Amino acid sequence: MELLEQIKERYLDRLSPATFRSRLFWKTVEGLALSPLNRPHWKADRVSLAYFIRATRDAYLRRAPVVWCNLLVPSELVLGTGCIPFYPEMAAAVVASAGLAPRFIDHAAEEEFPSDACSYHRCMLGCAMEGFLPEPDLLLAVNYPCDSAPLSFGFASDLYGAPQFVLDVPLPGREDGMNLLAGQMAEAARTMAGLCGRTEREMMEGLSEAVELSNRALGHLRRVEEMRKRDDCTLDGDEAMGNVSVLAGCMGSPAGEEFYRLLAEELRERGSRGDSSLRIMWMHLKPWYSQAIFHLLREHGARLVCEEYTHATWEAMDPRDPLGSLAAKVGGHFLVGPVERRASHLVRLAEEYRVDGAIHYNHWGCRQSCGGAPLVKKALQRVGVPTLIIDGDCVDDREYQEGQVSTRLEAFLESLR
Amino acid sequence: MGDDRIAWFCAYAPVELLLAAGLEPVRYFGDPSRIDDADALLHPAICPYVRACLAQAMQGSGPHHAVFVNSCDGMRRLYDAWKELFPEDFVFLLDLPRNAGKAGERVLAGEYRQLLAALRTFRGREITRDDLAAACREREELRRSYLRLAGEASGAARLRLAQSFQSPPGSAEGGGAAACAHPVAKAGREIPVLLTGNLLNPAGMVSLLEKAGARVVWADLCNGDRAFAASTLAEGESVEEIIGGLAAAYLERPPCARMLDAERRCRILAENARQAGASAVVYASLKFCDSYLYDFPRTRERLRREGIPVLRLESDYADGHAGQVLTRVEAFLEMIS
């Protein structure tokens, strides 16, 4: 039985905000994670699970200042200052995986957050209003990939009485843009270091160390990417998509390095799969509450060989200039700026991973991904990659039309044969 | 001969720079009746104003040279679609920081510098300090003219007037004082309200409010009074000084809900409501606008703490289904009267 199911079975009915603030709860969770009952498909998953359990426990038990971050906030920046990064969007995905999202989304609706907004954020706000999330000492958002985080963090900032900081990432190619961003990051870092009682020197040392750890993880991630390009790679996208949490939240920690090292090693060891599946690229994220799409893909001899968000999008950083390097990492992300950058990233992936087709999962309420989907599709079609756009929702299973999705997916896969 | 007109969409567009380049800035309000035409390039869950603008451009109505402000996901997606449709035209994306204050001003002034450089190349001529100073004065005179004319106007007439001042008088969008001459059937009694939100259709939601008995005495909308509420007149001895002043002035104006300082926005709203003698705030915004979707719950709380009743409404820009909204507005007005 999966760990999550174990936790669900033992605790779900008795969940309360106090549960997450109990040492006993976390001891039990850690015990379950280490138990033989928990058999992850990949050794690396044990590392990331242990890391996230520890970090989340420490956030609830307030063992260090907690900083809420959205997906593009580099974890190195927060870890390097001694704070605990907490990613509420990832928490929403976990809540959805546990089948609990509708309850919190409904709570948010009662507070007049309507269904037209992103369900990651509605779920997160519902959890926050019920007291289920660790209280932030600071909320730090990057103004990309979407408007939702700076805006929903604004509400949470009022709710908790904690300050909000928004990093305004400049448009690509702007003169002095990276210096301006590095300056904002320095200000955010000083605020976080101040929360931890660290001096400027200690802060810079912490950031350099985090950047060094991140660089080592990046080296292993590059190896993983090279192996995933092979025909016989055994890591499929439905599993790999979960690694977006590692890419966003573990970089700059020893766990990030260890995770990608183990993954690369195991990919090498597992060797050949040798099938002739259709090679599919997945765009945006997946429905976290259901594996039905992926079963269907497998039934039709198709597998996901690459995904939009799980790849390295930056170069090795300079530990002597951690803030400048982190600015370049964030500022150079393909989701910053016009959609043509995102389209170029996806065209490159499609070519490097030799895909036969691509699927764009339109998460309802996501203006950045749905909004750009027609143009991404055009860009992929220009290089001969047939593309299917499916409307759905990553978090709210009530918005997932299984029959409709299956029909469209089957027709698409047939057309690729 | 090239088209001297240039389109703009967001209230943060620095129209002064476009005027200084000798261009004729035309604000798009889109075609609410043809929104679905935009489906091929923009998902239906994107701001209907953005989609209506694309639909209008696809019909060939209005200029294709355009300046976009990176103020929200919707605007950025409109820029993307526009570039795809009109690759030969002058299409510029201007960044807008969420942070005001000195850091924000520095970023925005840098953006103005970039836009000026692009305009110089596009127009093939220098843009001098005198061009900029004259453009700033022209905008300020226009703003004052609007405020004089809008003095007694309310509701849809006020909004039409505001829209007409956002495009040149000769254009289809610009109608000057004549824009007031659109009578709306009104209820017997009128309750003064402040209307806040993003961008509304004067022929739709705003007319409906009047029909229900609300008199909109201040339209804190990005196609309404917000653009005229504060001066952007910038002066200086050099181009640099003027664009620095402009950046500060644009960030000082009553903010859109996408800006970081929500407390300031609410303070301004409450002050405006009191000054205009409004009995309540009607918070109405277009569907799929995240800035206002997320802002509403906390703004409502802040306004309630000030003792100001608030009604929430949503518009699809075409506003074809009026009955239910009318009933809700009537019930609200009944409650506060």
Does B83 contact A117 at a Cβ distance shorter than 8 Å? no
Residue B148 lies in a domain: no
Same domain, residue pair B163 and B118:
no
Does B83 contact A340 at a Cβ distance shorter than 8 Å? yes
Minimal Cβ distance to B291: which of A151, A174, A339: A151
Q: Please give the Cα distance from A101 to B58 (Å, whole number).
A: 40
Enumerate residue ranges in chain A where pLDDT < 70.
1-13, 272-275
DSSP B58: H
Q: Which of B316, B56, B76 is nearest to B171 (CA)?
A: B56
**Residue B150 distance to chain A (closest CA, Å):** 33
**Cβ–Cβ contact A331 with B under 8 A:** no
Q: Tokens 């309000």 identify what position?
A: B29
| A143: region left, alpha or beta (phi > 0 left; psi from -120 to 50 alpha) | alpha
- The number of residues making up chain A comes to 417
What integer best gives the mean pLDDT of chain B?
92
Provide the angle, in degrees to the nearest 10, between the axes of the packed helices A254-270 and A43-60.
160
Residue B151 has pLDDT above 60, yes or no: yes
**Cβ–Cβ contact B110 with A under 8 A:** yes
Q: Please give the Cα distance from A293 to A290 (Å, whole number).
A: 8
Segment holding B8, helix H or strand E: strand B5-8
Same domain, residue pair B79 and B211:
no
* Helices within A292-338 (DSSP H only): 292-299, 322-331
Provide the angle, in degrees to the nearest 10, between the axes of the packed helices A119-129 and A88-97.
90
Q: Please give the Cα distance from B28 to B7 (Å, whole number).
A: 6
| ipTM attached to this prediction | 0.94
Does A174 contact B297 at a Cβ distance shorter than 8 Å? no
pLDDT given at position B30:
95
Mean pLDDT confidence for B101-113: 95
Chain A residue at shortest CA distance from B94: A171
Q: Model confidence over B169-225: pLDDT tens digits?
A: 655 555 454 555 445 555 567 999 999 999 999 999 999 999 999 999 999 999 999
From the candidates A168, A180, A360, A366, which should be mutated to test the interface with B, based on the most B CB atoms within 10 A? Answer: A168
- The number of residues making up chain B comes to 337
Residue B97 lies in a domain: yes
Minimal Cβ distance to B93: which of A154, A155, A338: A338
Tell me the sheet residues that pair with A164.
A139
Same domain, residue pair B121 and B199:
no
- First CA to last CA distance, chain B: 58
User: CATH no. for residue B314?
Assistant: 3.40.50.11900
Residue B144 lies in a domain: no
Same domain, residue pair B169 and B306:
yes
| Contact criterion met (CB below 8 Å) for A66 and A134 | yes
Chain B residue at shortest CA distance from A148: B290
Domain housing B63? 5-125
Q: Please give the Cα distance from A225 to A19 (Å, whole number).
A: 39
Q: Please, which residues 57-76 of chain B have a Cβ atom closer than 8 Å to chain A? A: 70, 72-74, 76
Same domain, residue pair B179 and B263:
yes
* Helices within B151-197 (DSSP H only): 155-164
Q: Tokens 């709570």 identify what position?
A: A107
**Residue B301 distance to chain A (closest CA, Å):** 10
Does B312 contact A373 at a Cβ distance shorter than 8 Å? no
Residue B80 lies in a domain: yes
Number of domains comprising chain B: 2
Does B291 contact A147 at a Cβ distance shorter than 8 Å? yes
| Contact criterion met (CB below 8 Å) for A18 and A64 | no
Q: Please give the Cα distance from A108 to A102 (Å, whole number).
A: 10
CB atoms within 10 A of CB B61: 13
Residue B57 lies in a domain: yes
Task: Give rounded-to-5 percent helix, strand, coil for chain B.
Answer: 50, 15, 35
Q: Where is the domain boundary, B86, B108, B125?
A: B125
Give, in degrees to the nearest 5, the angle at Cα B315 between B310 and B316.
165
- Residue A378, CA distances (Å) to A95, A347, B43, B69 in order: 34, 10, 14, 24
pLDDT given at position B321:
79
Q: Model confidence over B243-288: pLDDT tens digits?
A: 999 999 999 999 999 999 999 999 999 999 999 999 999 999 999 9
Q: Please give the Cα distance from A357 to A384 (Å, whole number).
A: 9
Same domain, residue pair A140 and A62:
yes
Q: Which of B213, B218, B216, B219 is nearest to B334 (CA)?
A: B213
Q: Please give the Cα distance from A272 to B208 (Å, whole number).
A: 67
Q: Reduced to 3 states, what is the DSSP secondary structure of residue A357? A: strand
DSSP B255: P
Q: Please give the Cα distance from A163 to A154 (Å, whole number).
A: 9
Same domain, residue pair B218 and B302:
yes
Does A180 contact B106 at a Cβ distance shorter than 8 Å? yes
Same domain, residue pair B163 and B266:
yes
Q: Tokens 């089948």 identify what position?
A: A99
Cβ burial, residue B10 (10 Å; 0-12/13-18/19+): buried
**Cβ–Cβ contact A121 with B under 8 A:** yes
- Report residue A231 as tokens: 């025909």
Same domain, residue pair A73 and A16:
no
Same domain, residue pair A244 and A303:
yes
- Cβ contacts of B41 on chain A, cutoff 8 Å: 374-375
Same domain, residue pair A271 and A408:
yes
Q: Please give the Cα distance from A209 to A377 (Å, whole number).
A: 40
Residue B302 lies in a domain: yes
Same domain, residue pair A2 and A58:
no
Q: Please give the Cα distance from A150 to B281 (Å, whole number).
A: 25
Domain housing A366? 40-416
- Report residue A319 as tokens: 């530990």
Same domain, residue pair A21 and A169:
no
Does B80 contact A340 at a Cβ distance shorter than 8 Å? yes
* Helices within A143-234 (DSSP H only): 148-160, 177-196, 200-228
Same domain, residue pair B114 and B171:
no
Residue B283 lies in a domain: yes
User: CATH no. for residue A110?
Assistant: 3.40.50.11900
Residue B140 lies in a domain: no
CB atoms within 10 A of CB B155: 25
Q: Please give the Cα distance from A283 to A305 (Å, whole number).
A: 11
Q: Please give the Cα distance from A169 to B114 (Å, whole number).
A: 16
**Cβ–Cβ contact A151 with B under 8 A:** yes
Half-sphere exposure of B79 (CA within 13 A, CB side): 24
**Residue A78 distance to chain B (closest CA, Å):** 21
Mean pLDDT confidence for B321-325: 84
Same domain, residue pair A129 and A78:
yes
Same domain, residue pair B87 and B163:
no
Cis peptide preceding A145, ω within 30 of 0: yes
- Report residue B145 as tokens: 């003219």
**Cβ–Cβ contact A175 with B under 8 A:** yes
User: CATH no. for residue B66?
Assistant: 3.40.50.11890
**CB contact burial B28-45 (16+ within 10 A = b; e otherwise):** bbbbbebbebbeebbbeb
pLDDT given at position B147:
95
| Side chain identity, residue A81 | T
Minimal Cβ distance to A116: which of B45, B74, B98: B45
Q: Please give the Cα distance from B202 to B182 (Å, whole number).
A: 10
Q: Please, which residues 178-237 of chain B have a Cβ atom closer than 8 Å to chain A? A: none
pLDDT given at position A7:
66
Q: Please give the Cα distance from B25 to A345 (Å, whole number).
A: 35
The structure's pTM equals: 0.95
Same domain, residue pair A146 and A5:
no
HEC string of A75-106 equals: HHHHHCCCCEEECHHHHHHHHHHCCCHHHHHH
Same domain, residue pair A46 and A35:
no
Does A338 contact B76 at a Cβ distance shorter than 8 Å? yes
Same domain, residue pair B260 and B210:
yes
Same domain, residue pair A11 and A141:
no
Mean pLDDT confidence for B65-79: 98
Strands A278-283 and A164-167 turn out to be unpaired
Q: Where is the domain boundary, B73, B108, B125?
A: B125
Number of domains comprising chain A: 2
